[in-house]
Amino acid sequence: MSASDILITVDDRVRLFSAVLAATDYPQTSQAVKRYHAHPHARATLKYLTERGAASHPAAQGMQQLIRSGISLHDIFSVAPRVDFSAYVFEGRPPAWLREEWLHQLADFAQEMELVSFWENPASVRAWEDAYTQTTNIFRPVVIKPFLKPFFGDITEELIVMPNISYPAEVELGLRTPTQLWSLIPPPLAWGESNPWPFDEETNITQSYRAALAQYCRILLTEYLQANAERVAEASKKPLPVTSQLREKHPTWADQFTALFISSVVYIYLEDHFSPLESKAFELMERRLRGMTLLGATISVMRRYINEYGNRYHSLADFLTIFPTQLRVAKTIVGS
């Protein structure tokens, strides 16, 4: 068995951003989108910070303003692994919205809220150690880079997974640095008021695989489509046969292609490298929860691309312009 090409880590800079997020109104407003019961550590963090009046701290107010101005959590959290808080140095070119003053405020937040002491209490230590151990164990057999080569070529970036038992507690995040791709994965949510499942709970293991692969693909494909804008413009002259539900959620051709691509690639990876039964369960959830009625047809088309990669097709860009036509044909044959 090949050694995993994914590094598991717990990073204090990311934990700081999660704590600051807990001090915004995100834990409350996110419930309006989807009701969920956060991990006990996340709830303990929220209680701890609320008692200390953390919402009034400039760092929390700054993050609140970023969220309200439309900056995504992906972009906000991508700052974390690129900052040296001891010198307030940002690795690479900072995004236009990032103020150096906010970096100082974040460092002050950590000190004023005594986050290190909070993370070092026995309950916090045990919670993070459990999350790290569980995630390390389930990703031990996971190898992703060779699988992604037909789509993106050789991937030189380090692939990182961080189990996130703080906030956001209900969605995974993909982070990009110049040399790394990160996936922040929350534990699988359970029903009602039950605590989330452990990362290594047998029936939910593939949820973590799906989350990691989906976030790596989202980052890489977004950059790939931007780098091949002319091919995308040509391909988008042929509309994709998506449902009105999917079109409403993903209004542009590139957005629709990205949604279809990620779902189909995750399905293929699960089927080929883990369990056909798990891939079928994933397909069912995608249809029910995200309206991915085209998933069967998209899987058929993407398998054809993989099989002909290196012969008929030498890059995903070669395939983009014929993808809409092949998808329409596959939809007719497969039925969905």
Write the pLDDT tens digit of every residue in 168-197. 999 999 999 999 999 999 999 988 788 999
Q: Is 72 exposed, middle or buried (0-12, 13-18, 19+ CB in 10 A)?
A: exposed
Task: Flag whether the pTM goes above 0.85.
Answer: yes
Question: Please, are residues 162 and 183 in contact by the beta-carbon 8 Å criterion?
Answer: yes
pLDDT at 33: 83
220 lies in some domain: no
E strand segments, the chain: 6-8, 83-84, 89-90, 158-163, 173-176, 180-185
C-beta separation of 187 from 196 below 8 A:
yes
DSSP secondary-structure letter at 309? Answer: B
Q: Is pLDDT of 48 > 60?
A: yes
Domain presence at residue 216? no
323 is a domain residue: yes
> Residue 26 falls within a domain, yes or no?
yes
The two most distant CA atoms of the chain are separated, in Å, by 62
Total domains in the fold of the chain: 2
Clarify whether residues 107 and 173 are in a common domain.
Answer: yes
- Specify whether 64 is located in the same domain as 196: yes
Please give the C-alpha separations between residue 204 and each of 138, 197, 324, 332, in angstroms, as whole numbers: 11, 8, 33, 33
168 and 37 belong to one structural domain:
yes
In a domain, 284, yes or no: yes
Q: Are residues 131 and 20 in the same domain?
A: yes
Question: Can you give the residue range of the structural domain that contains 290?
Answer: 228-334
307 pLDDT higher than 70:
yes
Classify residue 214: in a domain, yes or no. no
**What are the b/e assignments for 276-294, b being 16+ CB within 10 Å?**
eebbeebbeebbeeebbbb
Confidence of residue 245 (pLDDT cuts 50, 70, 90): confident
**Whole-angstrom distance, CA of residue 172 vs CA of residue 184:** 5
Per-residue pLDDT, averaged over 46-66, amounts to 98
